[in-house]
A and B are shown apart, each in its own frame.
Chain A
Amino acid sequence: MSTFFLFDAAMILEKSILVVVLFAITLTVAAYATFGERKIAAFIQDRVGPNRAGPFGLLQPLADGVKFFTKEDFMPNAAERWLYILAPGAFMFVACMTSAVIPWGTQLTLFGKPVDLQVTDLNIGLLYIMGFTSLGVYGIMIGGWASNNKYSLYGAIRASSQMISYELAMGLAIIAVVMLSGTLSLREMAEQQAGINWNIWYQPLGFLIFFTCALAECNRAPFDLAECETELIGGYHTEYSSMKLGFFLFAEYINMFIACAVIATVYFGGYNFPGLDPNWLGGLMGPVVMFAKTFFFIFVFMWIRWTLPRFRYDQLMRLGWKALIPLAILNMLLTGGGVLVFSN
């Protein structure tokens, strides 16, 4: 039928190890992102932040996890039982799936065998990420609806219309990058940005649009209208408790991690840095640089959250439809013109 399923045992083993390692890293980063967020919030508000569990409060994520697991798992009487249980799992699943196509480094040679630091190099990698981001909304919608609570439903509706609106501008911003690099594969895109030849120099406007949309897609402040506590109690997760709530909150940090990794790969050269030497040590430096870039953007996400006040919902919609989408189309036209002029 196709060459798609011609695996061999060594490859399955290699990819399985890569998947497990990536999962562990994703979950650890997400756990420590919650800690980092509280520390950064404390720094910005001139407080100390969590400092009781372990040295410098470093065991705080562990303590939070234990707390989530031991809390009473409450389910509202009128909830739609199966969908109520399904929603946090679906949200978490979709969040974890996107990391598969991100290249974390150049090819390494381990035990005399070339190993890609990427789970799979789909030739439609960027579209794969867009596809899974567009599915993220189901967890929120189903959870908000199945709770059978009007605040949950309001939160779910806000979240889904926000995500649909910002996905459009995000896709249009991505199209400009695809036109420039002529590929949808994230590995090829990273390879083209060798040294300091990053896409950000060609796509500054596209980057700003993509970054704003990424904030909105992750439901982060100033676009966190879906869980705006002054109006909606907790939004779509009002009725959730225990680890189900934990899944919703945790998946948000996974989404943020992946969004930042995508920003780093698409606009900031991924694992590339001037003087990258794809041999042994340089090859190991690739992932380090990649993670440094990703963490920097996570920091910017948090910085924005604790600096800017929340938008009003009509302002959010106006920004998405009347500012970002026209700007993204303009950016696309400019890029098309640029490609036409400079490629000939």
Chain B
Amino acid sequence: MSLSLAVFLILGLASVIFSLLMVFTKNPVHSVIFLILTFFSIAGQYVLLNAQFLAVVHIIVYAGAIMVLFLFVLMLLNLNSAAEPKQSARWKLGAAIAAGMLLVTLVGALKGGIQIAVPENTNPQVGLAQNLGRVLFTDFVVPFEIAGILFLAAMVGAVLLAKRDVKL
């Protein structure tokens, strides 16, 4: 077994275990911490694929920014079992059916045994920042700019929501 395969197995196992723990822990703050650990193991997978830029951006954006805000909100809410609103049985049944249907769809989609085609002549250096940037600004420049406009709109929307008393 090569070293990279061993590292892959360890990281894969870690991401599965941490994501299961995230779902099954009762305490929301613990859930967030397990989610952060899941992100780390996924970032490790990116490094294995030689996509270091993607790995570090994944860490900066998800672990470094989004999860901090998650944790922030959870800490201020101070959720615990006493403060948790009681869910009625009908809601629980509805949620179970909806999640079950999602599960059936996913299993059905994966049952066919999707063969992920590995392209023959991919450049192993494609994940490096320079190559990624070049591709983004040439082949994919239109989607890239559209994503930028989307972000701008989201930012303006967030500012507007924060300033509720502004008259439009």
Binds B, one of A30-38, A119-127, A247-255, A265-273: A119-127
Binds A, one of B15-23, B71-79, B84-92, B106-114: B71-79
- Are A83 and B50 interface neighbours, CB within 8 A? no
- Are B4 and A2 interface neighbours, CB within 8 A? yes
Q: Which residues from B are CB-within-8-Å of A142? A: 33, 71
Give complex CA distance A271, B125 in Å.
29
Q: Which residues from B are CB-within-8-Å of A124? A: 52-53, 56, 129
Given the interface contacts A1-B4, A141-B71, does A157 sit within 8 Å of B49 by beta carbon?
A: no
- Are B50 and A184 interface neighbours, CB within 8 A? no
Q: Which residues from B are CB-within-8-Å of A153? A: 75
Interface residues of B in 97-147 (CB under 8 A from A): 124, 128-130
Nearest chain B CB to A223's CB is how many angstroms away? 18
> How many B residues touch A, CB cutoff 8 Å?
33
DSSP majority for the B interface? helix
Give complex CA distance A3, B8 in Å.
14
Give complex CA distance A161, B8 in Å.
35
Q: Which residues from A are CB-within-8-Å of B5? A: 1
Binds B, one of A58-66, A68-76, A128-136: A128-136
Given the interface contacts A83-B29, A135-B59, A135-B63, does A4 sit within 8 Å of B68 by beta carbon?
A: no
A92 lies within 8 A of chain B by Cβ: no
- Are A5 and B7 interface neighbours, CB within 8 A? yes
Give complex CA distance A149, B30 in Å.
18
B13 lies within 8 A of chain A by Cβ: no
> How many A residues touch B, CB cutoff 8 Å?
30
Q: Which residues from B are CB-within-8-Å of A167? A: 64-65
Q: Which residues from A are CB-within-8-Å of B36? A: 138
- Are A141 and B64 interface neighbours, CB within 8 A? no
Which residue of chain B has its CB nearest to the CB of A164? B68
Q: Which residues from A are CB-within-8-Å of B130? A: 123
Given the interface contacts A124-B129, A141-B72, A157-B76, does A3 sit within 8 Å of B124 by beta carbon?
A: yes
- Are A134 and B64 interface neighbours, CB within 8 A? yes
Give complex CA distance A146, B7 in Å.
33
Q: Which residues from A are CB-within-8-Å of B8? A: 1
Interface residues of B (CB under 8 A from A): 2-5, 7-8, 29-30, 33, 36, 47-50, 52-53, 56-57, 59-60, 63-65, 68-69, 71-72, 75-76, 124, 128-130
- Besides the contacts A5-B4, A124-B129, A134-B63, what 13 more A-B pairs have beta carbons closer than 8 Å? A4-B48, A5-B3, A124-B53, A124-B56, A127-B129, A130-B60, A134-B59, A135-B59, A135-B64, A137-B64, A141-B68, A145-B75, A157-B72
